[in-house]
Amino acid sequence: MKKRIYTLSVILLIMLVNNGITQSNQNIITIESAPLYKNTKAPIEERVEDLLKRMTVEEKIEQLSGGNIIYNIAGITGLVSGSSGFNTPDNERLGIPGLKFTDGPRGVRIGNSTCFAVSESRAASFNTKLESKIGYAMGLEAAANGHNCLLAPCINVVRHPGWGRAQESYGEDTYLLGEMGKAFIEGAQKTVMANAKHYAVNNIENTRQFVNVIIDERTLREVYLPHFEKAVNSKVASVMSSYNRVNGLYVSENEHLLKDILKEDWGFDGFVVSDWFAFKIRPLRALNAGLDVEMPYGISYGPPLDIAKRIGIIPMESLDDSVKRVLRQKFRFGLFDGKVNVDKNIYKTEEHKNLALESSREGIVLLKNKNNLLPLSKNISTIAMFGDAANEARLGDNGSSSVTPDYAVTPYEGIKNKFNGHIILANNNDTTGAVSKADISIIVVGLTGQDEGEFLGLTGGDRTNLNLHREDEDLIKNVCKSANKCIVVMEAGSAIVVEPWIDDVDALIMAWYPGQEGGNAIADVLFGDYNPSGKLPITFGKSKDQYPPLLTNRLRVTYDYYHGYKYFEKNNVEPRYPFGFGLSYTTFEYSNIDIKNNGDEINVTFDIKNTGSREGAEVPQIYVGFENSKIDRPIKELKGFTKINLLPNESKNITIPIRIKDLEYFDTTKNTWALEDIQYNIYVASSYKNIRLKGTLNLD
Ligand code: BGC
């Protein structure tokens, strides 16, 4: 008997040493070979449940914030540079890796990552396939630098072009925002978690920390949220709650936005992370409302939640739900199952450089081209270049979206790379000599991170004046009045009012902040090595008074239903350049519209032909109008688009699907979506003003 007990004890001891022990709730010691949560083959939900039940309450709380500010000095310095401090702690006892965040969306903030054109420019490409590739490249670069969550895409509505962070988003239209955001997420999430930010109604920069946005439910659901729902349907891993208040409550405490809509209506199963330093929130209120993770430190979460636990008031159901959401994504993205191995030097590859070039080129919008001055012949003898941005690479704002690439090509360098004639880099204060010697004068002007961007006190913030700087306007007038031919290239994050000088110029190009390959892309367009195909993702008005007011610096604002082209059209206001507009060096002919109702979808089919002499890409856009609607609806709104490349004389038959669901409106009397039994007008167009084909659809 003694011998049997001895043998059993030895076996038990060996098993303990080899396999580890777990303690169940009933305090019975159980022995297992390997915990279920470590089994890579087990279903994610089972792994989550298994791990959750092994965690102490303190460990659960620890999962939900970026750790203690006092002990995280490295984090504080990292905050300034964005290089570190964006992590939640690793749990060594159970082997739970922390979340490691880094910023986007024009490239990865850490290291010398590739700097792509800003999102506003990429929206102008209307090219979702390209956006997916860019998302994929950024995901790889984020992983190469040891990160597992990329804080992009930014999908806030550019309600007004003066919004400081307009450049980080995809323009004014809900549908376009949703499609581009979805494409980015699908690309990025092949490697790391993406983050759809900033949820929601975050469209003013200067007072973003406190502003209370009053908004009715229909406007919220139809204008400010559908693109976030699309992000959720694309299985985005995380969503960032914005700083501002919506109808009185900070978003991080807003149960209606976080729970009712995001988590319940849309079935979001990822986690909500607060925008950085949302410490004004009340911990239990936020936890119960659906904020899962507080970043970059646990100021409202962390110690306050520990105290709540000690005094027995921690809401365990909410706590567990938040922890499960975080664990679920950690399992899904393989954090437990070994590191994703990406070469640190991936940003140096030709593939990523070419992608940066492609993103800059496709975003460039040709706005004016009098007498087809462009493309320029490479045989001209002298070009004079003017403007502060001529030999400067303007990459965009100085805030969280900054990227520090290895190199960045200026417009002057780009032109020099392909033009063998004489280039004069002129002095802005003494233009006469240079103008008189040049066949072509090119003025490169625009804005900087000082003028617009994330509000950092002394730099960035909203733009209350939509014009160029006065000295740049004067420079344009000065040069163009005596120039042989003059071309303006603008670099900025959003719409610019061009009225004071547009009649003086022969050609105008909107290059946005074009990224590290910007100079080469601009030169490609100027000399016709690339035929411009960008279309405006935002309406260019004739003055700031044509838009609804920006309402910057206010602490309480009311958002109406209309903004952007829908506002212009509803109020019969004629913009300078409409949403969806952009010229090409070739021409396209549209014909033969056919509309078929397939139940869940309508198929709009038509032919498109390149009738010019150059290869080029066109962006056919489908707008829908609502004939005899009983409610107030836009005259028409974008519901579909595609991008198509055609050789000279080539013609293609295109089908663009429209979801019937996208024709619904939000019926506030029943608190649900409803479909009107009316005639829907279907427009195939090359901007919201330029309708090429028209058809109708009745749903029965
Ligand atoms: C910005 C976020 C950014 C975060 C981390 C915040 O100030 O609003 O967009 O992701 O900082 O850098």
Give the H or E element holding residue 435.
helix 432-437
Q: How far is CA 62 from the centre of its chain?
A: 29
Cβ–Cβ < 8 Å for 173, 565: yes
pLDDT class for 458, splitting at 50, 70, 90? confident
- Judge whether 212 lies within some domain: no
Sign of CA dihedral 538, 470, 441, 116: negative
One domain, residues 484 and 403 = yes
Question: Is the pLDDT assigned to residue 668 strictly greater than 50?
Answer: yes
The per-residue pLDDT for range 133-154, each reduced to its tens digit, is: 999 999 999 999 999 999 999 9
Q: How far is CA 90 from the centre of its chain?
A: 29
One domain, residues 426 and 525 = yes
d(CA 663, CA 338): 45
d(CA 489, CA 510): 6
The per-residue pLDDT for range 329-341, each reduced to its tens digit, is: 999 999 999 767 8
Question: Of the residues 118, 251, 400, 403, which should be mutated to test ligand 1's pocket, given the most ligand atoms within 8 Å of the CB?
Answer: 400
Written as six digits, the tokens of 607 are 């032919």
Q: Which residue has the tokens 């006092």?
A: 70
> DSSP readout, 662-679?
GG-EEETTTTEEE---SE
One domain, residues 606 and 561 = no
One domain, residues 549 and 475 = yes
The per-residue pLDDT for range 90-126, each reduced to its tens digit, is: 999 999 999 999 999 999 998 899 999 999 999 999 9
d(CA 107, CA 30): 49
Written as six digits, the tokens of 589 are 């002919």
Question: Of the residues 151, 199, 203, 398, which should be mutated to test ligand 1's pocket, given the most ligand atoms within 8 Å of the CB?
Answer: 151
Sign of CA dihedral 279, 284, 288, 289: negative
One domain, residues 619 and 542 = no
Euclidean distance between the first and final Cα of the chain, in Å? 85
Decide which of 286 and 24 is more confident. 286
Buried-state track 74-99, b at ≥16 Cβ within 10 A, e below 16: ebeebbeebebbbbbbebeeeebbbb
Active site residue 560: no
One domain, residues 620 and 669 = yes
One domain, residues 687 and 566 = no
For range 557-563, the mean pLDDT: 98
Tell me which of 173, 275, 472, 524 is the catalytic residue: 275
Written as six digits, the tokens of 382 are 């002298």
Cβ–Cβ < 8 Å for 586, 648: yes
Question: Is the pLDDT assigned to residue 9 strictly greater than 50?
Answer: no
pTM for the structure as a whole: 0.94
Q: Classify 89 as helix, strand or coil.
A: coil
- Judge whether 516 lies within some domain: yes
d(CA 678, CA 110): 52
For range 203-215, the mean pLDDT: 97
Q: Which residue has the tokens 């392909």?
A: 418
Cα of 192 vs centre of ligand 1, distance in Å, is 18
Written as six digits, the tokens of 352 are 């990523």
Q: Classify 555 as helix, strand or coil.
A: coil
Structure letter (DSSP) for residue 273: E
One domain, residues 650 and 534 = no
One domain, residues 364 and 462 = yes
- Judge whether 90 lies within some domain: no
Cβ–Cβ < 8 Å for 456, 400: no
pLDDT class for 32, splitting at 50, 70, 90? low
Q: Would you state the pLDDT for residue 68?
A: 74
d(CA 650, CA 612): 10
Count the neighbouring beta carbons within 10 Å of the beta carbon of residue 630: 10
For range 245-265, the mean pLDDT: 98
Q: Are strands 422-425 and 245-246 parallel, antiparallel or unpaired?
A: unpaired
For range 355-360, the mean pLDDT: 98
Q: Is 379 left (phi over 0), alpha (psi -120 to 50) or beta?
A: alpha
> What CATH number does the domain containing 638 carry?
2.60.40.10
The per-residue pLDDT for range 182-201, each reduced to its tens digit, is: 999 999 999 999 999 999 99
- Judge whether 232 lies within some domain: no
Range of the domain at 9: 2-32
> What CATH number does the domain containing 523 carry?
3.40.50.1700
Provide the β-strand partners of residue 491.
446
d(CA 62, CA 91): 8
One domain, residues 539 and 592 = no
Question: Is the pLDDT assigned to residue 167 strictly greater than 70?
Answer: yes
pLDDT class for 71, splitting at 50, 70, 90? low
Cβ–Cβ < 8 Å for 222, 175: no
Q: Would you state the pLDDT for residue 614?
A: 98
Question: Is the pLDDT assigned to residue 439 strictly greater than 80?
Answer: yes
Type of residue found at 319: L
Q: How many residues does the chain have?
A: 700
Question: Is the pLDDT assigned to residue 55 strictly greater than 60?
Answer: yes
400 ligand 1 Cβ < 6 A: yes
One domain, residues 646 and 550 = no
Cα of 584 vs centre of ligand 1, distance in Å, is 37
Task: List the Cα angle 170/174/494 in 5-degree steps.
Answer: 35
Q: What angle separates helix 350-363 from helix 518-526, to the nearest 10 degrees?
A: 50
- Judge whether 265 lies within some domain: no
SS (H, E, C) 371-399: HHCCCCCCCCCEEEEECCCCCCCCCCCCC
Task: List the Cα angle 665/541/227 in 5-degree steps.
Answer: 30
Provide the domain count of the chain.
3
Q: Whose CA is nearest to atom 9 of ligand 1?
A: 400
Atom from ligand 1 closest to the CA of residue 197: 9
Write down the mean pLDDT value for the chain: 93
Question: Is the pLDDT assigned to residue 695 strictly greater than 80?
Answer: yes
